[in-house]
Amino acid sequence: SSPGRFDAIPGFTQRGILIKVIDQHGVPVRDLPVTGRVLNGNGRVEVLFGGRTDDYGIVEANLTVGSSIGEQIFRFEAGNLF
């Protein structure tokens, strides 16, 4: 498995995924809305703690693998970035 990828059985929930948002200078962006969605498959994304980055530019999410077999793709968007 490579970074950003994992193998799982249908229905498995990967908890504690951390997303860090930084600006073009590497400075964390605080209080930015972050959303997650499923691009492929029938899984589920849950962005925690109100879906906004903290003082360190970090937000936490959980991914639940759907029942369909094969690759499932999830995308996170921060503000107008993805």
* pLDDT tens by residue, 2-35: 567 778 889 999 999 999 999 999 999 999 999 9
Mean pLDDT for 42-62 is: 96
**pLDDT attached to residue 47:** 97
The pTM of the whole model exceeds 0.95: no
Q: Is the pLDDT of residue 1 over 60?
A: no
Q: Which of 9, 74, 5 is nearest to 41 (CA)?
A: 74
| Alpha carbons 38 and 54: distance in angstroms, whole number | 23
